[in-house]
């Protein structure tokens, strides 16, 4: 009898069907010489400090450095502390019984670092020593499962993968437990969570937020001219910029005096845009956040669901390439998409043509290849699932399409010693851009240019001064944060460390979404539309740790690289563990010696839900209770409300008279603001008619 352990029940059912284990029992399926059981993700975890005989949050017991880690069943919150999850205990008993009745094991947890850890922790906790082999597949289609079961790998082939996962797990315990307890002990009250990847990620968000908030814009001026040729109007802007308006006006007067533009140069250049690479998980999450406003965690969940529905390859991949053997299957997948309505016409045109090979590189495929669709057409999908499927399917068509060829014309014109520039683009061969028909996505500032010859003069039909100002880096969105996490270290000055962190960053494609969600659950950040904004608590923690080693993005990236080296056998897990312990001692000492005066959050009471969850942001003031939704927008009729005015609205339900509102017709008016019983902000005029004009909060 052979035992098969999957990561979750749905996957176990798929495997059982293929191998003929069709008899359903309590917690497992059996038949044809197999017993197929399952976990529910991580059933086993590292024990908490009290298991090692030390009390939590006690200065004298820090740092906590277990000589060997104990494994316990997954814990859940209880009335007093934590207890073992009853459902986990029940399933562990089933797994133990199944293993006891079988001669060998097939490991069918997800084929990746965490999937390996899930099985190995169960195997070790149950003190099992039976032979096991590994099912290593990149999709859950019937074909993939069948081929994988016929090509099982020796279990010890993945020992280094397990050691890497185990090292990650223990490092996160050592740093997270000790740093959190040290900071909380130093603060004297409250619990302030810190973590190996969590804290550097918080630093990224807070640093960008403060840069944006404290940015001082600098005004500058440019000239814009209108002209035409051959009956086609177009515009051009000055190449030069002026910091003083008076200087720009002098040049503007000269341009108007000349009255025409001299064509100094006309340069036509053919540009070739290669198609984008296939998606890995991070690039899919960034695209879904930008185009669909999906969180990284939501995108991962949807991709996982599509994987389990057998229409998408394994989602937790860090590669954007496929191998030669997978490439042989791509024509079949393109042919499949001729039956998918949105891509029917394009897929028919691509079928049978020479496919672009940019995304093919065996050396850049690690555990799993890039995301592609499987040989199964999707059936019933939710709208969100379909959106993710179409992103992946569309990107696959793009990646194997021909390049987009454009003619870009750059024209330099002059008048009154001032040079102007304009550009125009003509798409000659659409190529891959026809998949989503985004031919103009890169050409927002392009003109529709007529035929222009060097040396000719063109009339100036209008000239004006444009007042502009420098802009700060925008606040992080999940898309930009994922990019920052992925690329952490690429701007470092130290070449040796930079090389160590190349293509590494902080976190992994499989864990970055969970790290961001942790920051939300700790109430360190909130969403303001698409932006990620730190809370008062998040900023308070950041201000304490920003110069501490715990927030060092560079060091965290080096660790990720070291974990990869353990996986490849280049570094011993013992050496890594020793380094983490030494670091833990250092940060514990550093944090315990910090003078901290954490102030309790002084959040105002929300007038709607009555919780003290009001937070002030650059554009809005809102309640962070997700079930409430109360919000006040700072801008009212072209007037920016001050913190004091909003404070009055929240506490007194009214403000004094505010001057300088503007009506839709552009007329200025003065009024007080009042908060009514429906929590709308209304204008109150001098005649006390308060409800004549309203300003909605949402």
Per-residue pLDDT, averaged over 80-86, amounts to 85
Spatial strand order in the sheet of 681-684: 658-662, 668-675, 681-684, 694-695
Structure tokens at 640: 């920016």
**CA distances from residue 36 to 92, 236, 624, 691 in whole angstroms, order as listed:** 14, 69, 45, 68
Question: What's the pLDDT band for 557 if we cut at 50, 70, 90?
Answer: confident
Residues in the chain: 698
> Residues 143, 149: contact at Cβ < 8 Å?
no
Q: What is the pLDDT of residue 668?
A: 86
Q: What is the pLDDT of residue 37?
A: 97
Per-residue pLDDT, averaged over 522-548, amounts to 90
Per-residue pLDDT, averaged over 377-394, amounts to 96
Helix, strand, coil proportions of the chain in percent (round to 5)?
A: 40, 20, 40
Structure tokens at 594: 């910090």
**Which of 52-56, 147-151, 321-325 has the largest mean confidence?**
147-151
Per-residue pLDDT, averaged over 137-165, amounts to 93
Q: What is the bridge-based pairing of β-strands 232-238 and 418-429?
A: antiparallel
Per-residue pLDDT, averaged over 344-357, amounts to 94
How far apart, in whole angstroms, are the C-alpha atoms of residue 661 and residue 365?
59
The sign one gets for the Cα dihedral 179, 184, 187, 190 is: positive
DSSP state of 159: H
Write out pLDDT tens, residues 478-525: 999 999 998 876 655 555 555 555 566 888 888 899 999 999 988 899
* Beta strand segments in 240-296, E: 260-273
Per-residue pLDDT, averaged over 32-48, amounts to 94
Per-residue pLDDT, averaged over 632-658, amounts to 86
pLDDT exceeds cutoff 70 at 95: yes
Write out pLDDT tens, residues 392-407: 999 999 999 999 999 9
Q: What is the pLDDT of residue 690?
A: 45
pLDDT exceeds cutoff 90 at 623: no
**Which of 179-188, 283-292, 628-637, 668-677 has the largest mean confidence?**
283-292
| Better-predicted residue by pLDDT, 602 or 35 | 35
pLDDT exceeds cutoff 90 at 695: no
Question: What's the pLDDT band for 197 if we cut at 50, 70, 90?
Answer: very high
Global model pTM greater than 0.85: no
> Residues 224, 468: contact at Cβ < 8 Å?
no
Clarify whether 209 is annotated catalytic. no
**Which of 51-55, 119-123, 526-530 has the largest mean confidence?**
119-123
* Whole-number average pLDDT of the chain: 89
Structure tokens at 148: 């994988």
Share of the chain above pLDDT 90, in %: 65
Q: What is the pLDDT of residue 663?
A: 85
Catalytic residue among 123, 314, 389, 564: 314
Torsion of CA 175, 181, 183, 184, to 10 degrees: 150
pLDDT exceeds cutoff 60 at 315: yes
**CA distances from residue 273 to 244, 268, 321, 436 in whole angstroms, order as listed:** 39, 16, 18, 15
Per-residue pLDDT, averaged over 450-477, amounts to 94
**CA distances from residue 245 to 37, 50, 418, 421 in whole angstroms, order as listed:** 75, 69, 15, 20
Question: What's the pLDDT band for 325 if we cut at 50, 70, 90?
Answer: confident
How far apart, in whole angstroms, are the C-alpha atoms of residue 474 and residue 221?
22
How far apart, in whole angstroms, are the C-alpha atoms of residue 313 and residue 565?
26
> Residues 618, 214: contact at Cβ < 8 Å?
no
Q: What is the pLDDT of residue 442?
A: 55
Per-residue pLDDT, averaged over 186-194, amounts to 83
| Better-predicted residue by pLDDT, 310 or 442 | 310
Q: What is the pLDDT of residue 26?
A: 94
Q: What is the pLDDT of residue 358?
A: 95
CB atoms within 10 A of CB 511: 20
């Amino acid at each position: 009898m052979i035992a098969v352990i999957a990561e979750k029940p749905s996957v176990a059912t798929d495997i059982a069907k293929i191998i003929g284990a069709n008899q359903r029992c309590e917690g497992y399926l059996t038949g044809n010489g197999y017993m197929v059981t399952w976990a529910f993700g991580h059933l086993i975890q590292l024990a908490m400090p009290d298991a090692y005989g030390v009390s939590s949050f006690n200065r004298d017991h820090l740092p906590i450095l277990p000589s060997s880690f104990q494994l316990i069943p997954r814990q859940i919150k209880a009335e007093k502390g934590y207890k073992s999850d009853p459902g986990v205990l029940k399933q562990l008993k089933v797994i133990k019984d199944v293993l006891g009745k079988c001669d060998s094991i097939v490991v069918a947890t997800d084929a990746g670092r965490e999937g390996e850890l899930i099985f190995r922790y169960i195997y070790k906790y149950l003190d099992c020593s039976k032979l096991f082999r590994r099912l290593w597949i990149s999709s859950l289609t019937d074909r993939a499962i069948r081929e994988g079961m016929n090509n099982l790998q020796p279990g010890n082939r993945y020992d280094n993968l397990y050691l890497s996962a185990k090292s990650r797990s223990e490092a996160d315990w050592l740093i997270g437990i000790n740093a959190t307890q040290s900071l909380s002990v130093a603060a004297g009250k409250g619990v302030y969570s810190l973590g190996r990847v969590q804290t550097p990620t918080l630093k990224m968000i807070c640093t960008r937020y403060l840069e944006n908030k404290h940015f001082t814009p600098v005004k500058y001026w440019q000239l814009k001219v209108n002209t035409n040729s051959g009956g086609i109007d177009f515009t051009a802007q000055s190449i030069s910029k002026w910091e003083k308006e008076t200087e720009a006006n002098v040049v503007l007067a000269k341009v108007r005096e000349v009255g025409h533009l001299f064509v100094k140069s006309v340069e036509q250049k053919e540009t070739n845009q290669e198609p984008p690479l296939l998606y890995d998980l991070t690039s899919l999450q960034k695209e879904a956040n930008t185009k669909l406003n999906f969180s990284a965690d939501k995108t991962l969940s949807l991709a996982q669901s599509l994987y389990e529905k057998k229409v998408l390859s394994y989602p937790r991949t860090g590669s954007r390439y496929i191998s030669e053997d997978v490439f042989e299957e791509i024509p079949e997948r393109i042919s499949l998409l001729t039956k998918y309505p949105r891509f029917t016409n394009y897929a028919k045109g691509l079928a049978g043509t020479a496919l672009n090979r940019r995304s093919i590189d065996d050396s850049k495929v690690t555990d799993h290849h890039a995301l592609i669709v499987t040989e199964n057409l999707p059936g019933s999908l939710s709208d969100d699932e379909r959106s993710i499927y179409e992103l992946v399917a569309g990107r696959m068509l793009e990646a194997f399409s021909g390049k987009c060829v454009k003619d870009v014309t750059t024209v330099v014109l002059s008048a009154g010693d001032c040079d102007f520039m304009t550009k125009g683009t003509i798409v000659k061969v659409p190529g891959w851009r026809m998949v989503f028909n985004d031919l103009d996505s890169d050409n927002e500032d392009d003109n529709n240019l007529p035929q222009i010859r060097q040396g000719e003069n063109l009339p100036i039909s209008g000239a004006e001064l444009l007042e502009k100002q420098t802009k700060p880096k925008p606040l992080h969105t999940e898309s930009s944060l994922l990019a920052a996490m992925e690329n952490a270290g690429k701007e470092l000055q130290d070449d040796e460390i930079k090389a160590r962190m190349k293509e590494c960053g902080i976190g992994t494609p499989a864990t970055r979404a969970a790290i961001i969600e942790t920051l939300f659950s700790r109430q360190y950040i909130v969403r303001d539309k698409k932006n990620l904004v730190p809370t008062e608590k998040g900023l308070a923690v950041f201000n304490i740790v920003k110069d501490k080693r715990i927030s060092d993005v560079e060091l965290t990236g080096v660790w990720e690289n070291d974990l990869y080296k353990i996986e490849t056998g280049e570094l011993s897990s013992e050496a890594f563990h020793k380094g983490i312990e030494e670091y833990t001692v250092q940060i514990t000492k550093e944090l315990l010696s910090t003078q901290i005066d954490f102030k309790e959050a002084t959040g105002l009471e929300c007038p709607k839900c009555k919780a003290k969850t009001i937070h002030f942001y650059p554009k809005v003031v809102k309640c962070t209770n997700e079930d409430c939704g109360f919000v006040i927008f700072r801008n009212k009729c072209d007037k920016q409300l001050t913190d004091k005015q909003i404070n009055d609205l929240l506490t007194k339900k009214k403000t004094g008279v505010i001057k300088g509102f503007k009506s839709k017709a552009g007329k200025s008016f003065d009024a007080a603001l009042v908060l009514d019983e429906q929590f709308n902000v209304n204008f109150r005029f001098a005649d006390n008619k308060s409800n004549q004009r309203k300003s909605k909060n949402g």
